[in-house]
Amino acid sequence: MERAYNINSDNKDVTVAVAVGTIAPVKSAIFLKREGGQATPIANSGAKESGNIPSVSIGAGKTLNNARLAIRVALEMGAFTEKERKNALSSLFVSYTLTGGPAGQQVFNYDTDDVEPLDDDNSLVFVIKRINLV
């Protein structure tokens, strides 16, 4: 489900952080898409298997109007049994924290329709959250 975060039209820095909890190895990445442009990579979790991304700047509020964040979390469960995959999905926790807007800090959690299995056996599952900056 798409969400929206209100930003200011000033120079105040807007930041985003991603926190992930599950038993599966996870990798995460944040992309910023400006109106009419391509998606620009902002940050990723790197080699860490936690999938967490600490707070990172995405720019000044005045430069972000009508942009959109796409935050991708990949659960790599190819070595898991079917039962372990179900447990990993049922215990999944993903939160996205944004700061810098007029309301201050706002936390979004993943919605069930953000979960997109790549294959029928759930060996690779993406959680994709889209947040419009308005």
Report mean pLDDT in 10-residue bins for the chain, 134 residues: 93 96 95 90 89 97 94 95 94 97 96 93 95 96
Residue 42 Cα distances to 39, 79, 85, 102, angstroms: 9, 29, 29, 22
Quote the Cα angle for 74-42-89, to 5°. Answer: 20
Domain range annotation of the chain: 3-133
| DSSP conformational letter for 51 | -
What is the model's pLDDT at position 48? 75
Asked whether the beta carbons of 127 and 26 are under 8 A apart, the reply is: no
Token digits of residue 107:
């936390």
Closest to 113 in 3D by CA, of 95, 130, 133, 96? 130
What's the CATH code, domain 3-133?
2.60.40
